[in-house]
Amino acid sequence: MPTEKQQVLQQLEGSWNRFLAAVQKVPSARMEEQGVIGAWSAKDIMGHISTWEDEAVKGVQLLLEGKPQPRYGNVDQWNQQAAEQRRALTPKQAAEALRRTHTRTVELLQGLPEQAYQQDAVRRFLLMETTEHYDEHGADLLRWLGQQAKS
């Protein structure tokens, strides 16, 4: 039977692979086309996921130190500010940053002891900012592509 850590890491990788498959379906010529979510493009979604993976790592480390999880105030405003910081990236740079961030995230998570995964707050925060986020925005990309195909 898989350990809690193995289960979380397997869930994370399954969701990650589905998200990447959705990203890869976006033609490169359309990566900066707005409308996936509001004014955000597929490139913006990649930056958004990368940003929240960084936040997941920070949040897990804080929780393991016995500190409260981060608070972001108005999350929509926070997301918009983070998106603006990544706006100048090309789609290729956004994809490279996404892969680097994910590699760092996985390396950190693989290095955590099993007992870290048994802490409900850590597991919840981690899954919310990774797997649930990948699934949510992978579905957004596929929905957008489907709507564009019908047009």
Task: Dump pLDDT digits (tens) for 47-73.
Answer: 999 999 999 888 888 988 999 877 878
Contact 94, 36 (CB under 8 A): no
pLDDT of residue 89: 94
Instruction: Identify the helix (H) or strand (E) that includes residue 61.
Output: helix 42-64
57 is a domain residue: yes
C-alpha angle 109/77/89, rounded to 5°? 65
Domain count, the chain: 1
77 is a domain residue: yes
The pair phi, psi for residue 64, each rounded to 5°, is -70, -25
137 is a domain residue: yes
* Packing angle, helices 42-64 and 75-86, rounded to 10: 120
55 is a domain residue: yes
**Cβ atoms within 10 Å, residue 40:** 19
Instruction: Determine the Cα–Cα distance for residues 139 and 109; give it in Å rounded to an integer.
Output: 25
pLDDT digits 0-9 by tens, 15-46? 999 999 999 999 999 999 999 999 999 999 99
Please give the C-alpha separations between residue 1 and each of 4, 7, 10, 116, 141, in angstroms, as whole numbers. Answer: 9, 9, 13, 18, 34
122 is a domain residue: yes
3-state secondary structure of 58: helix
Instruction: Determine the Cα–Cα distance for residues 5 and 137; give it in Å rounded to an integer.
Output: 24
Instruction: Determine the Cα–Cα distance for residues 19 and 41; give it in Å rounded to an integer.
Output: 15
pLDDT of residue 149: 65
Torsion sign across C-alpha atoms 72, 78, 22, 107: negative
pLDDT of residue 151: 58
64 is a domain residue: yes
58 is a domain residue: yes
Strand locations in the chain, DSSP E?
Answer: none
113 is a domain residue: yes
Provide the residue range defining the domain that includes 78. 37-150
Q: Tell me, yes or no, if the pTM score tops 0.75.
A: yes
